[in-house]
Structure 1
Amino acid sequence: MSVAAQLGLDDPARGLLAQARTDWAVWRRRDPRLAVVDDLLDLPSWLRAADREDVDDVLHRLAHLGSPTGGDDITAAGALAWVLLPGASLVAHRLRDMTPRIDECVAAQLWIEVRSFAWERRRKVAANIVMNLRRGVLRELGAVEHLRAVDPTWAHAIPLAPEADLWRVLDARAAEPLAVEPEDELAELLSWATSHRVIDEHDRELLVGLAEAACQMEVTRSREGRGGLCSRSGSSVVAARHGISEATVRRRARRSMRALAEAYARQISA
C-alpha cells in the first residue's frame, strides 16, 4: 500500500482528496492567494512552474488552514499532504529497506508534520516538512547512527517510563531552593568573561539585551538556536536599540557564545 493510500489520498473521486477538491473552490473565494488554479488536481503542475515565493505563499496558506492553531481544517491538511506526496514517497522509497511498513510510517509522520507545522514563524513549507518527515521516520525506526549526525540530542536521549524512579529524583531537586540565583550566576559569568577579554563590553550588552528580550517575550526556543536567545523577535528589539541589523546581532551573539564555551572548556581542562 502506498503513502497516498495510507492517508486516503489516492482517489480524487472519493474520500479526503475528493472533499479537498470541493473545498478548494471555497478556499479560493476566501483567499486570493489560493486563486491560482480552478481545480486542486491542477495545483502540482502550477507549483512546478511558479516562482518559489509564490509557491511558498500557497503552501503556507494551506498549512495555516490545516493547522490546529490556524483554521484547524482537516481537509486543508489533507490537501497539503497530497501536494507533498512526491517528496514523502521519495523518502519512503529511500528508506524502504528499513521496514516493510515504511509507507505506513511515512504516512503517519507526514500527517504529524503537516498538522504541526509552525506556520506562525516558519516559511519554506515543503522543504521543512519533508526534511522533518525524514528525520521523524528515522527517529521512529531507531536509526541511531544517522540521528547522531542530524540530531545529536535525540540520539543520546534515553526513554523513561512514567513510573521510573528518576522522575521522583528530578522532582525533588526541582523543589530545592537554588544555591545561586540565575541572574547572579549570569552576571558573574559575564563579568569574568569581560575581565578576561573573552568578550568585550559591547558583546556583553548584546547578550544581556537578548536575554532580557527573550524573557519579556517568553521565547523558549527558536530555530535560530541557542535556546531562544537568538530568536528573530529578540534580535529585532536589540538591533533597533543598538542601531545595527538583526543579522549582525545574531552573528555577534553566536560568536560570543562560542567564545564563552571555548573559554569554559579551557578552564575545565586546565
Structure 2
Amino acid sequence: MMREIKIEAETTKLAIEKGLEKLGLTREQVEVEIIQEEKKGVFGIGSKNACVVIREKIWGEPQKEQKEVRKNIEITNDAFKPSGNIIEDVKKVMKEIFMRSKIDFKILEEVYDEKANSVYINFQSKDAGLLLYDGAKGLLSLQQIISVIINKDPNKKIVVRIDTEEFWNKTENRIKRDVEHAIDFINRTRRPYRMKPMPSTFRKIVHDIVHKNYPSYTTYSQGHGRFRRIVIRYHKSDDSQNENSDKSQNQPQENNNESSAENVQPQ
C-alpha cells in the first residue's frame, strides 16, 4: 500500500526532509509534489510556509498488458540457430518474440555497422506504447533478450539496439541536456553532481558523453540495483572514488553534500 504524507515547514527543502524522516524513506524512494513554495514576506508580514506532499513510489507494477509482453518474450538459446547474416538473425529473433506476444510490427530501418559490430533496428507498431511504458522497460527488456540470444559466441560481441518512436534519439538528447546542466553546476560550485538512478544502458550513454565532450571531468557509478546512478565530478576534485566505474566491485557510499538530478526520465 502506497504511503503518503503532507508536510509544512519554513522551506521546501526542510519540508521534504521532515517528510522523509517521518516515512523512513530516502529521496529516491518517493515522489514529491510541491503544493506551495515558501514565502518570506516583508518584516515577517505575509510570510508563508512551504507545503509538500510526499508519496512512496510503487515499484514493479506495470500495466497488465506489459506483463503479458514480458511473459511472452521468452525464447531459449537452444531454439535459435545463427545463419551468418547478423541483421537477418536479429530480425528473426524479433519476429519470434513479437509473434509470441501477438504484436504486429513493421521494420522501418535496419543498419549493420561492421566497424562497431553493431546492429540498429527501427520498427513501427501500434502497440509501441506498451514497450515504452514505465521508462521503456519493455523495450529495454526486448533489446536485452535479443542481445543475449544473438551473442552466443562470447568472442564475438554484437551490440544490438532496438528502436521505435525515436526513443533512443529523444533519450540521448535528454541525457545530453542533463549532463550539460550537471557540468554547469560543477563549474559553479566545484561540487560533484549525482544523476538520477537509471538503467545501465543509460548510464553508458552518460559515461560516453562525458568522456567524449568533457575531458576535464570524470564519471563513476554509485549505488545498487534500481538505485544505481552516475556521479560526475571535476577530475581534480579529490579522492580515489574516481576509480570506481560500472565494472567496479566496491561502490562508494552516498554523499549527502552532492546535488541530485531528478530530470533524466526517458519516456
Q: Could you tell me the TM-score, scaled by structure 2's length?
A: 0.29
If asked which structure has higher relative contact order (CA below 8 Å, sep 6+), I would say: 2
Q: Could you tell me the TM-score, scaled by structure 1's length?
A: 0.29
Question: Comparing both structures, which one devotes a greater share of its residues to helix?
Answer: 1
Question: Comparing both structures, which one devotes a greater share of its residues to strand?
Answer: 2
